[in-house]
């Protein structure tokens, strides 16, 4: 506060030649205690006080006497920019009641008396009080003033908010009513007149850090001020921090003690944690690994996939000449990859491998005994579904039953429709293997898809690959049986992969390097002459011997016509269920026709002929009229001379080559079926895969397109 802020502006001005009457008039006009006498240049010459005037009048001076003798020249002059404090000191020391206030040029601006000084100090105090209130209200800490009698004198907005009280209600009331916990502390500070440093104090539900300072004299405090900070959240955070610290400590211990190498990397692939086991395999110092980019420390192992958020399971690597198994796991937060954990297993890998081998062996033994148990507790056998009392068939079933109790690979050969798949299923069921029976027709899968169909693929293996990858037939048949139908149609490249699997029981998905191990029993089938294919270099000899461990050769139907009555009976019964009919059997005449036929499509063809007859016929016996045209006529009595193995189709007229006749036979059926291959295969009594085989063999595709297009 400055003199300029609180002086009384304006002054009673006199000239040196004025009289006492002029002085009196000036005092009356301005109601001031002093009048200023200015010289010719307007500067202060001196002052005349009311008391000097009274004294002169009492001494008998006349009103027209000049003012000159009353002028006092040791005037107290105050400047506008002087502080209020220094103005007060000047007036006190000089012992006068008023000072003349001048500006920088020495021009008189007004006067300043004691009352002006008091007003100035009052203004100053008021302003400071306002500042303190604003300051307190802007503090985050709650502040409460309490007097000696423990009554609340003041509090800021933060205190109102923290303790949910209204200042207007609380002020003047005992603090113990609102904040009992605080009352005790304040009483202590006031009583002893000492400041209590910040300490933890629970006030209601709030955990606070409270300091108390006494106000007033050092012996006899008039009250106290409490500054309170809410630390409820802070304390919770601190507790959490403590728990996290403990957890981190435990984790660090666990990582350090881990038998396997462990590293944690940040999203940029920089190592943030590494343990001694990792340092050991990398021949590095653990401390020097932390902070290094992973790619620099272990260039052979890429983290690209894991840092994209994908898990990379046990891949085999060789680090510093030692084999190891590496697993990479992404660390995700809010759906974002924020780093990865890398685990390197390298100690005692061989022991693990042996352990797994032993486990597999035990599993195989369990499977065997499970199968045995099932067999001994089952009244019917899976082989009961295979109809036939022919000696060759009986011998085959015995052999197949024996094979079922082993895990040997089985090769089943025979013409199309002889029941190769039926045998394969029976062997699987009888074996008691807990996994599934998975059948793949090697002839029906496009060559370019064969590998992924067999071995599966990993995500991103090729364009169009499914997210998350796809398991192949080998994985689907794990602990079960994989039936490889038409194995003769398997491309040579895939044959080598199959051979490797048969030798090691491991394979990799397409696009993957991680070897996978499964326990799969293989049963292969073909209507082709594999030995001849081996001779022609179309089938791998080593694979042939691998799958040839047990060989079941199913004879064609024409060679076991003794089974025809039983087969007709069993198939009619099966078809009655399917077609909802009550057919009892085949008339003797019709049966004669069936016996006379050569059955190139074997049991499947017989089933088709019976189904067609049951669909056409109305009586409960299948008659000659219900049979296909080529079986009906008396002239259709057919020579039962068997065609060489693999030859199918109706009896061929003399003079026609087998190929030309068979091709015409297939084309005729395709035309009759309007190009529908499933129907054509049914008409021919051969399986779809055999039909595909013949289509490829005779390059019929183009011809059919031409013929169908032409009609």
**Contact at 8 Å (CB) between 347 and 319?**
no
> What's the token pair of residue 233?
């959240």
Which CB, 301 or 386, lies closer to ligand ATP?
386
Q: Which of 98, 420, 546, 663 binds ligand ATP (CB under 6 A)?
A: 420
Beta bridge partners of 196: 212
User: Position of tokens 């994908």?
Assistant: 310
**Shortest gap between Cβ of 348 and ligand ATP (angstroms)?**
48
**Main-chain phi, psi angles of 90, to 5 degrees:** -60, -45
Smallest gap from residue 353 Cβ to ligand ATP (A):
38
Sequential DSSP letters for 197-238: EEEEEEETTEEEEEEEEEEE-SSSEEEEEEEEEE-HHHHHHH
Which position among 275, 367, 418, 598 is part of the footprint of ligand ATP (CB under 6 A)? 418
Find the shortest distance in angstroms from Cβ 567 to ligand ATP.
6
Q: How far apart are CA 511 and CA 346, in angstroms?
A: 24
DSSP annotation string for 454-473: HHEE-TTSSTTPPTT-EE-H
Least distance CB 449 / ligand ATP (angstroms) = 20
Q: Given the rule CB under 6 A, which of 46-54, 252-260, 409-417, 587-595 is the region that contacts ligand ATP?
A: 409-417
Between strands 261-265 and 336-345, the pairing is antiparallel
Task: In angstroms, give the least distance from the CB of 293 to ligand ATP.
Answer: 57
Question: In Å, how far are 412, 414, 693, 695 from 645, measured between CA atoms?
Answer: 14, 8, 15, 19
For the chain, count helices (H), then strands (E): 30, 28
CA distance 89 to 82: 11
Closer CB to ligand ATP, 116 or 607, in the complex: 607
Q: Does residue 367 touch ligand ATP according to CB under 6 A?
A: no
Q: How far is the CB of 566 from ligand ATP (least distance, A)?
A: 8
For residue 449, what are its two tokens?
């898809």
CB nearer to ligand ATP: give 466 or 553.
Answer: 553
Q: Which is nearer to ligand ATP, 212 or 571 (CB)?
A: 571
CB of 586 to ligand ATP, least distance (A): 16
- Phi, psi (5° rounding) for residue 57? -65, -40
Residue 607: CB minimum distance to ligand ATP, A: 5
Q: Determine the length of the chain.
A: 711
CA-angle at 687, arms to 685 and 692, nearest 5°: 115
Residue 478 Cα distances to 316, 436, 437, 497, 520, angstroms: 22, 7, 9, 17, 5
Q: Over the Cα atoms of the chain, what is R_g? A: 57
The nearest distance, CB 484 to ligand ATP, in angstroms, is 12
Query: Which range binds ligand ATP by CB under 6 A, 64-72, 174-182, 418-426, 451-459?
Result: 418-426
Q: Interface with ligand ATP includes 614 (CB under 6 A)? A: no
Q: Which stretch binds ligand ATP (CB under 6 A): 79-87, 216-224, 602-610, 659-667?
A: 602-610
Binding of ligand ATP by 414 (CB under 6 A): yes
CB of 664: closest distance to ligand ATP in angstroms? Answer: 21
Q: How far apart (Å, rounded) are the C-alpha atoms in residues 446 and 434?
A: 30
By CB under 6 A, which span of 343-351, 357-365, 415-423, 627-635 interacts with ligand ATP? 415-423
User: Which residue's CB is nearer to ligand ATP, number 44 or number 666?
Assistant: 666
With CB under 6 A as the rule, give the number of residues binding ligand ATP: 20
Write down the least CB distance from residue 389 to ligand ATP, Å: 10
- Contact residue for ligand ATP among 690, 692, 693, 695 (CB under 6 A): 690
Q: Which residues contact 633 (CB under 8 A, 6 or more apart)?
A: none
**Cα 179 to Cα 165: distance, rounded to the nearest angstrom:** 10
Nearest distance from C-beta of residue 419 to ligand ATP, angstroms: 3
Q: Starting from the edge strand earliest in sequence, which strands make up the sheet with 336-345, in order?
A: 271-274, 261-265, 336-345, 322-333, 312-319
* CB atoms near residue 483 (< 10 Å): 27
Binding mask 269-308 for ligand ATP (x = CB under 6 A): ----------------------------------------
CA distances from 17 to 11, 40, 46 (A): 18, 11, 13
Q: Binding string, 369-408, against ligand ATP, x = CB under 6 A?
A: -----------------xxx--------------------
Question: Which of these ranges, 54-62, 181-189, 600-608, 642-650, lies near ligand ATP under the rule CB under 6 A?
Answer: 600-608
- Examine residue 524 and tell whether it contacts ligand ATP (CB under 6 A): no
**Which residue, 383 or 507, has its beta carbon nearer to ligand ATP?**
383
Residue 485 interacts with ligand ATP (CB under 6 A): yes or no: yes
Q: Is there binding between residue 421 and ligand ATP (CB under 6 A)?
A: yes
Site for ligand ATP in 529-588 (CB under 6 A): 570
The footprint of ligand ATP (CB under 6 A) covers 386-388, 414, 416-422, 485, 527, 570, 603-604, 607, 687, 689-690
């Amino acid at each position: 506060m400055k003199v300029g802020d609180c002086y009384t502006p304006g002054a009673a001005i006199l000239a040196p030649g004025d009289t006492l009457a002029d002085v009196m008039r000036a005092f009356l006009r301005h109601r001031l205690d002093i009048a200023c006498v200015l010289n010719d240049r307007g500067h202060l010459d001196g002052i005349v006080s009311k008391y000097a005037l009274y004294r002169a009048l009492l001494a008998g001076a006349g009103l027209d006497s000049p003012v000159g003798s009353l002028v006092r020249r040791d005037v107290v002059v105050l400047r506008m920019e002087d502080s209020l404090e220094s103005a007060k000191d000047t007036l006190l020391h000089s012992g006068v009641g008023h000072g003349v206030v001048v500006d920088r040029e020495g021009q008189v601006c007004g006067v300043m008396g004691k009352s002006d000084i008091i007003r100035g100090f009052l203004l100053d105090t008021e302003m400071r009080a306002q500042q303190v209130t604003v300051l307190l209200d802007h503090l985050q800490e709650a502040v409460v003033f309490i007097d000696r009698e423990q009554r609340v004198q003041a509090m800021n907005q933060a205190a109102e908010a923290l303790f949910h009280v209204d200042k207007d209600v609380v002020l003047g009331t005992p603090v113990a009513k609102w904040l009992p916990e605080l009352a005790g502390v304040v009483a202590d500070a006031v009583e002893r007149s000492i400041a209590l440093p910040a300490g933890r104090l629970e006030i209601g539900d709030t955990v606070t850090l409270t300091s108390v300072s006494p106000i007033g004299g050092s012996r006899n405090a008039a009250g106290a001020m409490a500054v309170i900070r809410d630390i409820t959240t802070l304390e919770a955070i601190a507790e959490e921090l403590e728990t996290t610290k403990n957890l981190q400590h435990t984790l660090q211990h666990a990582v350090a003690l881990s038998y396997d190498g462990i590293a944690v990397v940040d999203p940029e692939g920089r190592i943030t944690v590494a343990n001694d086991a990792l340092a050991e395999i990398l021949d590095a110092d653990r401390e020097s690994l932390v902070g290094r980019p992973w790619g620099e420390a272990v260039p052979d192992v890429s983290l690209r996939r894991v840092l994209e958020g994908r898990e990379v399971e046990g891949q085999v690597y060789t680090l510093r000449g030692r084999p190891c198994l590496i697993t990479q796991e992404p660390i995700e937060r809010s759906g974002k990859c924020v780093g990865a954990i890398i685990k390197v297993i390298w100690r005692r890998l061989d022991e693990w491998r042996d352990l797994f081998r032993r486990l597999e062996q035990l599993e195989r033994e369990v499977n065997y005994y499970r199968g045995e148990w099932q067999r001994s507790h089952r009244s019917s056998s899976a082989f009961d579904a295979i109809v036939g009392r022919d000696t060759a068939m009986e011998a085959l079933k015995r052999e197949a039953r024996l094979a079922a109790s082993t895990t040997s690979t089985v090769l089943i050969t025979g013409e199309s429709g002889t029941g190769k798949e039926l045998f394969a299923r029976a062997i699987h069921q009888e074996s008691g293997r807990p996994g599934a029976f998975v059948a793949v027709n090697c002839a029906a899968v496009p060559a370019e898809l064969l590998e992924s169909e067999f071995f599966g693929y990993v995500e991103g293996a090729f364009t169009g690959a499914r997210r998350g990858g796809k398991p192949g037939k080998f994985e689907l048949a794990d602990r079960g049986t994989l039936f490889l139908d038409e194995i003769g149609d398997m491309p040579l490249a895939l044959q080598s992969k199959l051979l490797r699997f048969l030798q090691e029981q491991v394979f990799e998905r397409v696009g993957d390097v991680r070897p996978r191990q499964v326990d799969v029993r293989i049963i292969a089938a073909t209507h082709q002459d594999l030995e001849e294919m081996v001779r022609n270099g179309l089938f791998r000899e080593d694979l042939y011997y691998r799958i040839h461990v047990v060989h079941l050769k199913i004879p064609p139907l024409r060679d076991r016509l003794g089974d025809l009555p039983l087969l007709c009976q069993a198939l009619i019964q099966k078809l009655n269920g399917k077609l909802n009919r009550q057919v009892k059997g085949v008339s003797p005449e019709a049966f004669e026709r069936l016996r006379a036929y050569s059955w190139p499509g074997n049991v499947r063809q017989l089933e088709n002929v019976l189904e067609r007859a049951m669909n056409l016929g109305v009586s409960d016996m299948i008659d000659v009229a219900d049979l296909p045209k080529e079986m009906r006529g008396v002239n259709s009595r057919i020579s039962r001379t068997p065609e060489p193995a693999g030859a199918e189709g109706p009896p061929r007229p003399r003079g026609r080559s087998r190929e030309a006749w068979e091709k015409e036979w297939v084309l005729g059926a395709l035309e009759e079926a309007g190009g529908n291959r499933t129907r054509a295969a049914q008409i021919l009594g051969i399986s779809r895969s055999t039909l595909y085989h013949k289509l490829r063999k005779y390059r019929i595709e183009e011809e059919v397109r031409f013929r169908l297009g032409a009609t």
